[in-house]
Every structure is written in structure tokens, then in C-alpha cells.
Structure 1
Amino acid sequence: MHKRKHTAAEKFTIIQEIESGHIGVKAATQKFGVTKTTLAKPLEALACNMPL
């Protein structure tokens, strides 16, 4: 399987969808082809109100 690096902008878009409630984390991983690990750091920062 080929690994793809997602840009910060792509991750930000995914996180925005999750945060807005339009999509859950599991659905986002399937829709965008990312792993939960890829989203873990941005989601943790968001939960702690830290800058991404």
C-alpha cells in the first residue's frame, strides 16, 4: 500500500469537518483515506486549545 503525506491544509480541512460535527473521526478516516494516528496530534491540540 502506498503511503501519502497529507498537507497541513488537508488535515485542517478534515479537522474542521470533525469539529463542526458534520463527520465523526471514524467516518473521516474512511472518507479521506487517513489513519486515526494521522489525525491524533491535530485533534489533541484542538482538544487542549493549543495552536496547530
Structure 2
Amino acid sequence: MPYKRYGEIFKKLREQKNFSLSHFSEIGISKASLSRFELGQTMISFERLDSAL
């Protein structure tokens, strides 16, 4: 999947900032969606990701 690299980078940033998957569910990105993104199975808009970090 072409999204895999984006997800890997995002996961590293998320972990560096000590954000759990639950943190993002509080702002409207479900744990399942974020997990699929980090695994390269789907894409999340950059606007949503940017506002989350």
C-alpha cells in the first residue's frame, strides 16, 4: 500500500509525543481508523492529522 510510509512516520511522531490511540478518539479519529492508517491499510486526510498533532 502506498500509505504505509505515511502511517509509519505518523506512528513515530505520535509515540514521540506520548499520544495514545485513545487521545485521537477524543478528537474524532477512531482507534480503528488510526490503527489502519498506521498499518498502511487506509489514508487519513492530512488536515485531520495536522490538527491532531
Q: Bin the TM-score by the shorter chain.
A: 0.3 to 0.5
- TM superposition score normalised by structure 1: 0.37
Could you say which structure has the larger radius of gyration? 1
- TM superposition score normalised by structure 2: 0.37
Q: Which has the higher contact order (CA 8 A, sep 6+)?
A: 2
